[in-house]
Amino acid sequence: MKTLIIEWRHLDVEGDTCDRCSRTGASLADEIDLLNRKLKSHGVSIKLKETKIEEDRIRESNLILIDGVPIEEILDIRVVDNYCKSCSDLVGADTYCRAVYYKGKKFDDVPRIAVREAVAKSLGLRIRRKNI
- pTM of this prediction? 0.91
For the residues of 64-120, what is the DSSP string, one character each? EEETTEEHHHHTTEEEEEEE-HHHHHHHTS--EEEEEEETTEEESS--HHHHHHHHH
Q: What is the pLDDT of residue 128?
A: 67
* Residues of the domain holding 34: 2-123
**pLDDT exceeds cutoff 90 at 129:** no
Confidence of residue 125 (pLDDT cuts 50, 70, 90): confident
CATH number, position 79: 3.40.30
132 within some domain: no
Q: What is the pLDDT of residue 131?
A: 55
32 within some domain: yes
Q: What is the pLDDT of residues 63-121, one digit of tens each?
A: 999 999 999 999 999 999 999 999 999 999 999 989 999 999 999 999 999 999 999 99
130 within some domain: no
